[in-house]
Amino acid sequence: MISFLLTSILVMIRYLTLFVSSIFLAGCFIFGEPTEFDETTGQSPEWIYDRAEGLKDQRDFRKSIDFLEKLIKRYPDNKLIPSARLNLAYAYYKFGQKELSTSTVNQFITLYPSHPSMDYAYYLKGLNLYQERGIINKLTMQDISDRDVNNLKQAFDAFSELVKKFPDSKYSQDSTDRMTYLMNKIAEYDLHVARYYMKRKAYVAALNRAKNVYTSYPESIHVEESLVIQYIAYKELKLKDLEVATKKVIDHNYPNNQLALDINEGTKTWWKFWESLAD
């Protein structure tokens, strides 16, 4: 008798469980999945913007991004949208999403060319692409990326645009300092490639890289070496007129250059420094 009662109770519990589950599923079907509470629902554009600013000040960039994205989507014609886009680009930058930040800045520059914060937009674009580190970590070609160098060039262009268009901007001096660093890094990369080609006796390719440093980055710290490589490449290619002309430029601008001193002494082995470069 007891066994029969226990079995009956277990069966009833099983049917009750199935019944409750079916009601729950029916509720989900009717009302949908439960949604996360959205703090911005029903709020004005001004409230959402101010809240996003507060979250940014608290360094909660993930949530600030969420608020700004919703603001731009819901109120695309509101007067706050230009500033919201620029703030969103900054939040992306601080949150480590530099590609999104760059694309958002580019949209801002295209949509609002006369915006009073345009100088900051160019500055932020440059920061997204700027890499404050050496792009050459070893004397091999393995660690050099053309994409990295292209980013450096784009960063240089963004800072350059800022300095040309807004010379009195508070970001101008810092941009100029970063341009100097970038200019030397890009020139350093070209010289590294030129040395690589010189070692393999690819003199035309080496010459093109060295000439690019001299013509594109004449204020770089690497100009002297670029002239030396050009001089040697012309000599190896037996282009006498260009060899002599380049030697005159070296003598005039760098009278203490070791190349000139060694040639006067009848030696010329020192400048084949690329012979010691690893493959």
pLDDT at 137 over 50: no
Place of tokens 């050496």: 134
Per the CB < 8 A criterion, the answer to whether 59 and 82 are in contact is no
pLDDT at 22 over 60: no
Per the CB < 8 A criterion, the answer to whether 181 and 132 are in contact is yes
Per the CB < 8 A criterion, the answer to whether 186 and 153 are in contact is yes
pLDDT at 278 over 80: no
Domain ranges of the chain: 44-113
The pLDDT, as a whole number, for residue 149 is: 82
**pLDDT one-digit tens code per residue, 202-259:** 999 999 999 999 999 999 999 999 999 999 999 999 999 999 999 999 989 998 877 6
pLDDT at 16 over 80: no
What is the phi-psi region of residue 67: left when phi exceeds 0, alpha when psi lies from -120 to 50, beta otherwise?
alpha
Q: Which long-range contacts (CB under 8 A, 24 or more apart) does 214-219 make?
A: 216/187, 217/183, 217/184, 217/186, 217/187, 219/183
Q: What is the mean pLDDT of residues 12-41?
A: 59
pLDDT tier for residue 15 given thresholds of 50, 70 and 90 = low
The residue among 139 and 123 whose pLDDT is bigger is 123
Which of 242, 239, 225, 234 lies closest to 188, judged by CA? 225
pLDDT at 269 over 80: no
Here the tokens at position 47 are: 């409230």
Alpha carbons 171 and 163: distance in angstroms, whole number: 8
Q: List Cα–Cα distances, 37 to 8, 15, 40, 189, 236, in angstroms.
A: 43, 34, 9, 52, 74
Select from 3.40.30.10, 1.25.40.10, 3.90.380.10, 2.40.50.140 the CATH code of 44-113. Answer: 1.25.40.10
Per the CB < 8 A criterion, the answer to whether 81 and 72 are in contact is yes
Alpha carbons 45 and 265: distance in angstroms, whole number: 77
3-state secondary structure of 143: coil
**pLDDT one-digit tens code per residue, 45-78:** 999 999 999 999 999 999 999 999 999 999 999 9
pLDDT tier for residue 262 given thresholds of 50, 70 and 90 = low
The pLDDT, as a whole number, for residue 18 is: 54
The residue among 141 and 170 whose pLDDT is bigger is 170
Here the tokens at position 187 are: 């020139």
Place of tokens 């003199």: 203
Q: Which amino acid is at 84?
A: A
Q: Which amino acid is at 198?
A: M
